[in-house]
C-alpha cells in the first residue's frame, strides 16, 4: 500500500517507520525538515517538507495514488483539514486523524472521519494505573464514548445467564474468555467460575459498572 502520513513528531515518525518496516510505500509530510531526523537512517520512504493540507504538498507526497492517509500532527485543526482534503478532494477511503479534543473527535466521527482521541485514552490509563480495584480496558472507540472492559465473573453471577447479567450490571457482553479461549455467548449462555467477561459500556458509566460487577452477591443488584 502507498500511505501518506502528515506530521513527523513522535507519533508520526513512529507510525511511518512501522509502516516502512512492514513493507509499505510511505510518504511523510512535515513543515520542518529537521523533524525527519526522527525517522532514522533506515527509513526508506519519501520525506516531503510543506504544509500537510496544501494541495501541492500532498501531490508531491503521492496522495493521488495513496491507499491511506494519516493526519497525526500536533494540531487538531491541521489534522482535520488535511483528513478532509484527503477524503473529499482525493477520494482516499482509509483516512484517520489524531484529535486531542474529544468533543471534536465525536463530531468528526459522525462526519465519517475516524479519529483517535488520545487525551481521554491517556487519562483513563493513568487513572486506572494509579487507583486500586479498577477494571482493565481492552479497547475504547476513537471518540472516547464507548469502552470494552474486562470483567472477571463475580461468584454471585456463577450459574446465571448472560441475559440476566447485562441489564443488572449495565453492559452489553461482546464475548467471553473461558479456559483461555474466546467465545461469543448467547443470551442463555450460563456464566462459569473463572470466566472473563468482555463487555461494552458507555464511558461515563465505567466506574459504576465496575462496582456493580464486583459486588459480592448478584441478589444485591
pLDDT tens track for 179-197: 888 999 999 999 998 888 9
- The fold adopted by the segment(s) 2-120 is Rossmann fold (3.40.50)
DSSP string, the chain: -EEEEE--SHHHHHHHHHHHHTT-EEEEEES-GGGGGGG-TT--SEEEES-TT-HHHHHHTTGGG-SEEEE-SS-HHHHHHHHHIIIIIT--SEEEEEES-HHHHHHHHHTT--EEEHHHHHHHHHHHHHSTTPPEEEEE-TTSSEEEEEEEPPGGGTT-BHHHHHHHHT-EEEEEEETTEEE---TTPBP-TT-EEEEEEEGGGHHHHHHHHT-S-GGG-
Within the chain, which residue ranges are assigned CATH 3.40.50.720? 2-120
What per-residue confidence (pLDDT) applies to 199? Answer: 93
What is the predicted pLDDT for the residue at 130? 61
pLDDT digits (tens, 9 = 90+) for 95-111: 988 888 777 776 676 66
Strand partners, 182: 177
Q: What is the pLDDT of residue 214?
A: 77
Residue 88: predicted pLDDT: 92
Residues of the chain below pLDDT 50: 217-221
Q: What is the pLDDT of residue 217?
A: 44
Q: What is the pTM of this model?
A: 0.62
Q: Which residues make up the CATH 3.30.70.1450 domain(s) of the chain?
A: 132-220
Question: Which residues sit opposite 47 in a β-bridge?
Answer: 28
Residue 4: closest CA among 81, 77, 80, 86: 86
Per the CATH hierarchy, to which homologous superfamily does domain 132-220 belong?
Regulator of K+ conductance, C-terminal domain (3.30.70.1450)
Amino acid at each position: 500500500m502507498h500511505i501518506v502520513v502528515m506530521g513527523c513528531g513522535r507519533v508520526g515518525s513512529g507510525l511511518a517507520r512501522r509502516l516502512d518496516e512492514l513493507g509499505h510505500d510511505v510518504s511523510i509530510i512535515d513543515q520542518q525538515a529537521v523533524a525527519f531526523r526522527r525517522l532514522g537512517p533506515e527509513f526508506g520512504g519519501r520525506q516531503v517538507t510543506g504544509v500537510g493540507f496544501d494541495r501541492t504538498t500532498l501531490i508531491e507526497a503521492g496522495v493521488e495514488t495513496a491507499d491511506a492517509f494519516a493526519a497525526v500532527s500536533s494540531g487538531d485543526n491541521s489534522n482535520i483539514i488535511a483528513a478532509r482534503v484527503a477524503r473529499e478532494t482525493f477520494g482516499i477511503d482509509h483516512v484517520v486523524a489524531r484529535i486531542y479534543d474529544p468533543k471534536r473527535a465525536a463530531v468528526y466521527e459522525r462526519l465519517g472521519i475516524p479519529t483517535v482521541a488520545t487525551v481521554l485514552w491517556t487519562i483513563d490509563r493513568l487513572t486506572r494505573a494509579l487507583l486500586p480495584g479498577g477494571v482493565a480496558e481492552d479497547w475504547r472507540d476513537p471518540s472516547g464514548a464507548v469502552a470494552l472492559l474486562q470483567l472477571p465473573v463475580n461468584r454471585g453471577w456463577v450459574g446465571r445467564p448472560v441475559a440476566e447479567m447485562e441489564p443488572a450490571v449495565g453492559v452489553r457482553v461482546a464475548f467471553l474468555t473461558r479456559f483461555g479461549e474466546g467465545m461469543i455467548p448467547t443470551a442463555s449462555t450460563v456464566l462459569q467460575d473463572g470466566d472473563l467477561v468482555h463487555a461494552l459500556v458507555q464511558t461515563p458509566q465505567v466506574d459504576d459498572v465496575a462496582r456493580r460487577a464486583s459486588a459480592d452477591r448478584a441478589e444485591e443488584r
